[in-house]
A and B are shown apart, each in its own frame.
Chain A
């Protein structure tokens, strides 16, 4: 960096550039919010789906699984799990987890969900699957 480029010039570019790109980010975010209702299927968020999301969080599902690719990479993607197993299959799988795990295998805890809770979780996962996420994942295996 030559002597012609001074520290105060660098500082001004820092402030100017930061403000400009932050405002651009806000503008893009604003536009995204106007488009989201067509993509996030918010009209279908029933109290049951909301309950499912709360259970998803309170049982820390993201600590092992991914949802639309985000989370931990220890267990399968669940954003499209209803495609793989169907809602009934998902519920049956969760219900059938052995309390002490499966010897030597990655094991999911037995959470002792009620039927109402299982229905809510399945409804939430079905809702996530319906979101327009640019055709991700590449195939049904997630």
Chain B
């Protein structure tokens, strides 16, 4: 690696992968509970397992973002990290806080946890994805601020590139919009309105800037295409992202008590949200086609192309599928939403982190790329996980279409649970596909331990 301090990224990447495994294990528990309703009940009820599943996802993605930034920023800024010690300290704080939170979810009833951790002082808990106890939320803010301070100071003392500027805007946006997690008015409409300022403006806003910056960085490194060209693309993509995504928040304001005009604003602008994702697909393929060098790390290039395609399919196409208000009237809060969520998160954010890890980890371990044997195994894991998520998405989409028909659209709508029983076959197929995903993930981890002839560090 070019700068010694980039090494702090390594523990972040390892923790990210470890938590990813936890996320998938709890995903399998949830999938089984969909068909064997009382599985692990009352020890781990569905809501607890789901909190663990989604919170682990968020935390491992954040670990990945932070690790990626710690790796990338010194190289972009051409200077050592402002404080590697601070980065390492924050790693342990974040890991311990995250682990304690998960242990808390699993061992203490949620209501008791709320009382133990100060939910009576500031009520923030019990809202989807923002279930963390107050002290964890405060911890996230502290870690995020220390991280941003570290990264920003590094950029300020070094070279300022467009890629690091876009990354910084994304990361600062992430921190700023998280503050809405502390705002929980008693008026449920206002609560939901601003809840989306964290959730939507993260995943369909500032996180896409982080995604774009990471993708641009790895494409420069692996293709050797001129930085001016790549950075121009990056600006165009993030422009389209925010132009469509900010007002696109309106697609969450159709049915929660907000005025009807959001059905127009939300439908039109969120219908544009696939465009920046399509831009990323074209961007990735275009740059790889115009490559000026053959980078020995083929696996990293595969992840880069993969995230371009899967983010477009999951976030773009599957988002568009149910984003128009007249469609969403029937599909809102069904398995269609779950289908979209799974492919979008995997395609956009899991894959971009795996791309960054794939590119950086060999270098952090003192070589330009892993051995051919190791890369072949990693590429197998790419295909297993990616094809699995495609099928999980298709099965959930089928389940969702049937659910909409049986429960919402037919002349004699069935009660929720009656409809659920009728679509159980698709939940079983989803669960088995999830097992294949786990096998892919285990192969991915195994690829780190495969030796063979390695390329020397560049």
Give which listed residue, B111, B243, B263, B408, contacts A18 with CB less than 8 A. Answer: B243
User: Is A141 a contact partner of B414 (Cβ separation < 8 A)?
Assistant: yes
B291 proximal to A (CB < 8 A): no
Convert B104-129 into 0s and 1s, putting 1 for each residue whose CB lies closer than 8 angstroms to a CB of A. Answer: 00000011001100010001011110
User: Is B408 a contact partner of A70 (Cβ separation < 8 A)?
Assistant: no
- With a cutoff of 8 Å between Cβ atoms, the chain B residues found around residue A61 in the complex are 47, 126
Across the interface, name the chain B residue whose C-beta is closest to A18: B242
A128 to chain B, nearest CB (A): 6
Q: How many chain B residues have a CB neighbour from A under 8 Å?
A: 78
- With a cutoff of 8 Å between Cβ atoms, the chain B residues found around residue A17 in the complex are 239, 242-243
Assuming the A-B contacts A1-B236, A21-B242, are A76 and B415 also in contact, with contact meaning beta carbons closer than 8 angstroms in the complex? yes
B258 proximal to A (CB < 8 A): yes
User: Which parts of A95-142 form the interface with B (CB within 8 Å)?
Assistant: 99-107, 109, 111, 127-128, 131-134, 136-142
User: Is A139 a contact partner of B162 (Cβ separation < 8 A)?
Assistant: no
- With a cutoff of 8 Å between Cβ atoms, the chain A residues found around residue B236 in the complex are 1, 10, 13-14
Q: How many chain A residues have a CB neighbour from B under 8 Å?
A: 73
Give which listed residue, B111, B186, B192, B413, contacts A68 with CB less than 8 A. Answer: B192
User: Is A62 a contact partner of B38 (Cβ separation < 8 A)?
Assistant: no
Assuming the A-B contacts A1-B232, A141-B407, are A25 and B247 also in contact, with contact meaning beta carbons closer than 8 angstroms in the complex? yes
- With a cutoff of 8 Å between Cβ atoms, the chain B residues found around residue A71 in the complex are 128, 333
- With a cutoff of 8 Å between Cβ atoms, the chain A residues found around residue B33 in the complex are 74, 106
Across the interface, name the chain A residue whose C-beta is closest to B199: A70
Assuming the A-B contacts A25-B247, A28-B265, A131-B189, are A136 and B329 also in contact, with contact meaning beta carbons closer than 8 angstroms in the complex? yes
- With a cutoff of 8 Å between Cβ atoms, the chain B residues found around residue A136 in the complex are 254-255, 329, 332
- With a cutoff of 8 Å between Cβ atoms, the chain A residues found around residue B333 in the complex are 66, 69-71, 73, 77
B187 proximal to A (CB < 8 A): yes
User: Is B416 a contact partner of A142 (Cβ separation < 8 A)?
Assistant: yes
**A4 CA / B66 CA spacing, docked (Å):** 36
**A133 CA / B253 CA spacing, docked (Å):** 9
**A7 CA / B261 CA spacing, docked (Å):** 36
- With a cutoff of 8 Å between Cβ atoms, the chain B residues found around residue A6 in the complex are 232
**A104 CA / B32 CA spacing, docked (Å):** 11
B42 proximal to A (CB < 8 A): yes
A69 to chain B, nearest CB (A): 3
Across the interface, name the chain A residue whose C-beta is closest to B408: A138
Give which listed residue, A10, A60, A102, A142, contacts B232 with CB less than 8 A. Answer: A10
User: Is A58 a contact partner of B111 (Cβ separation < 8 A)?
Assistant: yes
B450 proximal to A (CB < 8 A): no
A23 to chain B, nearest CB (A): 10
Stretch at the interface among B86-94, B95-103, B334-342, B370-378: B334-342
A92 proximal to B (CB < 8 A): no
B34 proximal to A (CB < 8 A): yes
- With a cutoff of 8 Å between Cβ atoms, the chain B residues found around residue A100 in the complex are 41-42
User: Is B131 a contact partner of A7 (Cβ separation < 8 A)?
Assistant: no
Across the interface, name the chain A residue whose C-beta is closest to B184: A57
User: Is A53 a contact partner of B50 (Cβ separation < 8 A)?
Assistant: no
Contacts beyond the supplied A32-B193, A39-B259, A59-B110: 18 A-B pairs with Cβ under 8 Å? A10-B232, A14-B238, A28-B247, A42-B187, A53-B186, A60-B51, A61-B47, A68-B255, A68-B257, A71-B333, A73-B337, A73-B338, A104-B38, A131-B257, A133-B255, A136-B254, A141-B414, A142-B407
Instruction: List the 3 shortest-distance A-B pairs measured between CB atoms, nearest first.
Output: A63-B47, A57-B126, A69-B333
Q: Sample 14 A-B pairs with CB under 8 A, ordered by A number.
A: A7-B231, A18-B239, A40-B187, A60-B125, A62-B127, A63-B128, A63-B131, A69-B255, A71-B333, A74-B46, A109-B42, A128-B188, A131-B189, A138-B409
